[in-house]
Chain A
């Protein structure tokens, strides 16, 4: 987990509220990713970034947006949280398209 942090680590929110999760890396990695992990589904890619201001959708992007204004920060926003977005969210960074380095995760509960 060295070099990549996520905040907050835990969050409980109510349906309909906006939520922003932050991923910060100090490795100057070009690529960054947001995943969600749910029982029986492994990790599913939400959005990824291949450079500052360059982002693209993953396989489960509906209801999520991202922004990357600096190399070190990748923000994930739930514009209006729903109970189906209750999950554990992982961020990862990667210097190329090979090894990914993961953050410790954020446990989000939407009531």
Chain B
């Protein structure tokens, strides 16, 4: 079964609005990562947050991690049409080599 589960499955917003995606997971993690996938392409790493961190920023991206609730959120501020893509969270378990991906959130930003 998937370790990470994203919510919502799909999100449609207007350009300039903020987009928030959530991820829940089940077991202890070493880190949590967010990736973006444009249609027909491979995944691209966006940001990583470690289990001892609570918030991290990168440009227009803000990621939070709540290990007590086993959840994370990805906020994209001032969305652009170019942000249209699928977004995946991925968790790396403590002491392991494997990274488990969720099913993703499809974001559509209307110009």
Contact = CB atoms under 8 A, between A and B. Distances in A.
- Do A and B pair up? The answer is yes
A45 B88 contact: no
B43 A48 contact: no
Sorting the interface of chain A by its residue count into under 10, 10 to 19, 20 to 34 or 35 or more gives: 20 to 34
Interface of B: 2, 30-31, 33, 35, 40-45, 48, 88, 90, 92, 96-104
A56 B98 CA distance: 10
A42 B98 contact: no
A97 B92 contact: yes
A101 interface: yes
A45 B98 contact: yes
Contacts, number: 61
Contacts of B104: 42
Contact of B98 (A41, A48, A105): A48
Nearest to A42: B103
Nearest to B40: A105
B42 A97 contact: no
Interface string A79-96: 000000000001010100
Contacts of B96: 97
14 contacts: A1-B42, A31-B97, A41-B2, A41-B103, A42-B2, A42-B101, A43-B101, A48-B97, A98-B92, A100-B33, A100-B43, A102-B42, A102-B43, A103-B42
Contact of B42 (A45, A48, A56, A104): A104
